[in-house]
Amino acid sequence: MAETKRKVYCQNADAAALLAKYPEQWEAAPWPAQFTSVESAGSVILGDQPTVFSDAVRQAVAENRARLIYVLSAGDTGLPGAASGIPVFCFLAAPLQAAVAHSAVRSAFDNLELARRQAQLTQELAAARYEIDEMNVIGIALSTAPSTAVLLELILQKSREITDSDAGSLYLAEESESGEKRLRFKLAQNDSLQVPFAEFTIPINASSIAGYVALKGEPLHSEDVYKIPESEPYKFNADFDRKVGYRTMSMLVVPMKNPQGEIIGVVQLINCKRDQKATINSQNADAIVIPYPENRQALVSSLASQAAVAIENNRLYDSIQSLFEGFVKASVTAIESRDPTTSGHSFRVADLTVGFAEAVDRADTPNFRLISFSRAEMKEIRYASLLHDFGKVGVREEVLVKADKLYPLQAKLVSERFDFVRKAAQHEHSERRLNYLLEKGREEYLARHGEFEGELRDKLKELDEFYKFVMQCNKPTVLPEGDFRRLSELAAMEFLDWAGTPRTLLNQDEVRLLSIPKGSLDDSERKEIESHVTHTYNFLSKIPWTKELKNIPLIARGHHEKLNGTGYPNKLNEAEIPVQTRMMTISDIFDALTASDRPYKKALPTEKALDILKMEAGHKLIDNQLFELFVEGQIFKKSLDWKPSAS
CATH of the domain at 175: 3.30.450.40
pLDDT at residue number 1: 39
Q: What is the DSSP string of 502-532?
A: EEESS-HHHHHHHT-SSSS--HHHHHHHHHH
Across residues 78-104, what is the average pLDDT?
77
130: alpha, beta or left, given left = phi > 0 and alpha = psi -120 to 50? alpha
Q: What is the DSSP string of 183-218?
A: EEEEEEEESSSPPP----EEESSTTBHHHHHHHH-S
Q: CA dist 583 to 68, 144, 372, 376, 567, Å?
A: 83, 31, 13, 17, 15
Contacts of 232 (CB under 8 A, 6+ apart): none
My answer on whether 232 and 215 are in the same domain is yes
Res. 124: pLDDT tops 90 = no
Across residues 536-561, what is the average pLDDT?
93
Which segment of 3-12, 108-117, 259-268, 322-331 scores lowest on mean pLDDT? 3-12
Asked if residue 136 is part of any domain, the answer here is no
End-to-end CA distance of the chain: 78
Contacts of 547 (CB under 8 A, 6+ apart): none
Res. 106: pLDDT tops 70 = yes
Backbone angles phi, psi at 72, to 5 degrees: -80, 135
The H or E element spanning position 46 is strand 43-47
- Rounded to an integer, what distance in angstroms lies between the CA atom of residue 535 and that of residue 393? 8
β-pair partners for 69: 46, 90
Which segment of 31-45, 87-101, 496-510 scores lowest on mean pLDDT? 31-45
- Please provide the size of the chain in residues: 647
Across residues 363-386, what is the average pLDDT?
92
- Rounded to an integer, what distance in angstroms lies between the CA atom of residue 309 and that of residue 142? 9
My answer on whether 287 and 360 are in the same domain is no
Closest CA to 298 of 156, 166, 159: 159
Which segment of 144-153, 218-227, 239-248, 402-411 scores lowest on mean pLDDT? 144-153
- Rounded to an integer, what distance in angstroms lies between the CA atom of residue 462 and that of residue 435? 24
Q: CA dist 488 to 100, 246, 467, 470, 516, Å?
A: 132, 95, 14, 11, 13
β-pair partners for 269: 168, 252
- Rounded to an integer, what distance in angstroms lies between the CA atom of residue 403 and that of residue 341? 9
My answer on whether 278 and 362 are in the same domain is no
My answer on whether 12 and 106 are in the same domain is yes
My answer on whether 358 and 279 are in the same domain is no
User: What is the domain count for the chain?
Assistant: 4
Q: Positive or negative, the Cα torsion across 168, 174, 176, 178?
A: positive
My answer on whether 512 and 574 are in the same domain is no
pLDDT at residue number 80: 62
Most confident of 139-153, 214-228, 272-286, 510-524: 214-228
Q: Is 90 helix (H, G, I), strand (E, B) or coil?
A: strand
Closest CA to 9 of 36, 99, 1, 82: 36
pLDDT at residue number 578: 95
Most confident of 5-9, 153-157, 474-478, 630-634: 630-634
- Rounded to an integer, what distance in angstroms lies between the CA atom of residue 496 and that of residue 492? 13
Most confident of 375-379, 392-396, 501-505, 602-606: 375-379
DSSP code of residue 568:
S
∠281-282-283 over CA atoms, to 5°?
A: 95
My answer on whether 419 and 363 are in the same domain is no
Final residue in a domain of this structure, among 517, 547, 570: 517
Asked if residue 25 is part of any domain, the answer here is yes
The enclosing domain of 108 has a CATH number of 3.40.50.2300
Q: CA dist 517 to 405, 406, 511, Å?
A: 10, 13, 12
Res. 647: pLDDT tops 50 = no
Asked if residue 134 is part of any domain, the answer here is no
pLDDT at residue number 331: 85
Asked if residue 331 is part of any domain, the answer here is no
pLDDT at residue number 480: 56
The H or E element spanning position 555 is helix 552-557
Contacts of 626 (CB under 8 A, 6+ apart): 356, 360, 579, 582, 583, 586
Across residues 121-137, what is the average pLDDT?
76
The H or E element spanning position 581 is helix 579-594
CB atoms within 10 A of CB 337: 9
User: For residues 219 and 333, which has the higher predicted lDDT (pLDDT)?
Assistant: 219
Q: CA dist 427 to 246, 273, 449, Å?
A: 104, 109, 16
My answer on whether 235 and 367 are in the same domain is no
Q: What percent of the chain has pLDDT over 90?
A: 38
- Rounded to an integer, what distance in angstroms lies between the CA atom of residue 42 and that of residue 67? 8
Contacts of 228 (CB under 8 A, 6+ apart): 222, 234, 235, 236
Closest CA to 58 of 67, 47, 70: 67
Res. 90: pLDDT tops 70 = yes
Asked if residue 422 is part of any domain, the answer here is yes
How sure is the predictor about 2, in pLDDT bands with cuts at 50, 70 and 90? Answer: very low
Asked if residue 198 is part of any domain, the answer here is yes
The enclosing domain of 376 has a CATH number of 1.10.3210.10
Task: Report the Cα 11 to chain-centroid distance in Å.
Answer: 75
- Rounded to an integer, what distance in angstroms lies between the CA atom of residue 329 and that of residue 542? 18
Task: Report the Cα 408 to chain-centroid distance in Å.
Answer: 48
Question: What is the dihedral angle through the alpha carbons of 309, 314, 319, 320, rounded to the nearest 10 degrees?
Answer: 100
pLDDT at residue number 646: 45
My answer on whether 508 and 609 are in the same domain is no
Burial 233-261 (b: 16+ CB within 10 A, else e): ebebeeeebeeeebbbbbbbbbbbbbeee
Asked if residue 324 is part of any domain, the answer here is no
Q: CA dist 284 to 167, 236, 289, Å?
A: 15, 20, 9
Backbone angles phi, psi at 442, to 5 degrees: -70, -45
Range of the domain at 412: 408-517
Final residue in a domain of this structure, among 71, 92, 118: 118
My answer on whether 422 and 391 are in the same domain is no
My answer on whether 80 and 46 are in the same domain is yes
pLDDT at residue number 563: 95
In sequence order, what E strands does 293-448 have? Answer: none
Res. 77: pLDDT tops 70 = no
Contacts of 381 (CB under 8 A, 6+ apart): 353, 354, 357, 373, 555, 580, 583, 584
Q: What percent of the chain has pLDDT over 70?
A: 93
Asked if residue 613 is part of any domain, the answer here is yes
Res. 369: pLDDT tops 50 = yes
Cβ contact 327:577 at 8 Å: no
- Rounded to an integer, what distance in angstroms lies between the CA atom of residue 94 and that of residue 71? 7
pLDDT (tens digit per residue) in 6-15? 888 888 888 8
My answer on whether 162 and 262 are in the same domain is yes
Final residue in a domain of this structure, among 517, 539, 571: 517
